[in-house]
Structure 1
């Protein structure tokens, strides 16, 4: 495929609104997380080839599929995602690829474009707003995570599960508030909807509030299941 002439398509490393390929997934990629993908669907094979042709930044946006499936198209997508930078490409037989990527920056979709030859959107980077001191929120979240692990272990023992899930380690977190809040979202045992809420929070302190709500909901559910 020929490289588009418009320099805006070269990736989200540029300021303002840019055109970027989008990979909708049934999972949430957070900034700082690693992502491995098996590529076989023709539209995403085309996406990989365009992203790795050396004429643009090797990156694409990842957004959560709110409703639908990864294969076949027609899915409903969220409006907030993460830039995934390709760090390794392994070409496989039958026009397939294995990718390793790293989540870098958060993005916000401004306008969806035509899906031919693959999903694309006009998007802008969305850095965190200023947050407040999160010491108290972080301490409360640690207590809740410990409580959730205790309840989960009790549930596992009651139901004959030999190896209960390990406790999420909330130690050795980054010093930067934004990176720390994303790391917490990555480590806590929460589902895609709660991870998306954390990703969509406007700042680090709001993200901790969203994570606290998610863990509280998980605790309440586990307590109900233990009745």
Structure 2
């Protein structure tokens, strides 16, 4: 099995969701160069468990998402990328054959849409947009509360998980969902919990939705 390039980040990438990245470390510039040689450039994204994005020495969660490269722009001292999340992956083993992280990866089965879930998906969108609006007015948000999402119900379910004003550990829990019903139900629960924090008298809140559009 060929090694897959992996970009560990302090954020979660969801399927069908865009993510803007800035690449400046030499090891990841080498990774980008190798990826661009492929017919369909892509790499895996996993959440950092301990450590930081810069410098190495981090430990990582094993659930992630493949990222398809859609835009590349050279800037002073960095390369800016736009990627879109594809299928979910699970890391089987980390390899050390390259100067950048590589791993054996296994695809995670995609979730399936059932028309009976339409009311639950609509309820999730209602709560996510309401709480996202509150977050934008109080703690700040990286997503516009009125952002357009896909007309496809499965794609939009993942996108709602991405824009909800949640921290990365909550987002990772959603990424690991084993059913779409479970994803939507847990998304509603976590969003309502975030709303309670945002409306608490102390004014505290988790203002890290995890992705940049």
Aligned match of 2:28: 44
- Aligned equivalent of 1:3: none
Helix, strand or coil at the partner of 1:51? helix
Structure 1 residue aligned with 2:93:
111
Q: Does 1:97 align with 2:73?
A: no
TM-score by length of 2: 0.79
Contact (CA 8 Å) 2:46, 2:64: kept in 1 or not? yes
**1:187-225 CA distance string (max 9 Å, x none):** 322222222111111121111122112112112223433
Would you say 1:222 and 2:198 are equivalent positions? yes
What count of residue pairs does the alignment treat as equivalent?
202
Which structure has the bigger radius of gyration?
A: 1
- How far apart, CA to CA, are the structure 1 residues paired with 2:52 and 2:149? 36
Counterpart position of 2:104: 122
Report the alpha carbon displacement of residue 76 of structure 1 after superposing the two structures with TM: 1.6
Alignment partner of 2:200: what SS?
Answer: helix
Higher RCO, 1 vs 2 (CA within 8 Å, ≥6 residues apart)? 2
- Runs of 4+ in structure 1 deviating by more than 6 angstroms, as ranges, are 163-167
Shift of 1:93: 5.6
5+ long unaligned stretches in structure 2 = 204-213
CA distance in 1, matches of 2:92, 2:194: 33
2:152 aligned counterpart, secondary structure: coil
Distance 1:25 1:216 in 2: 26
Q: CA-atom RMSD, angstroms?
A: 3.1
Residue 53 (str. 1) matches residue 37 (str. 2): yes
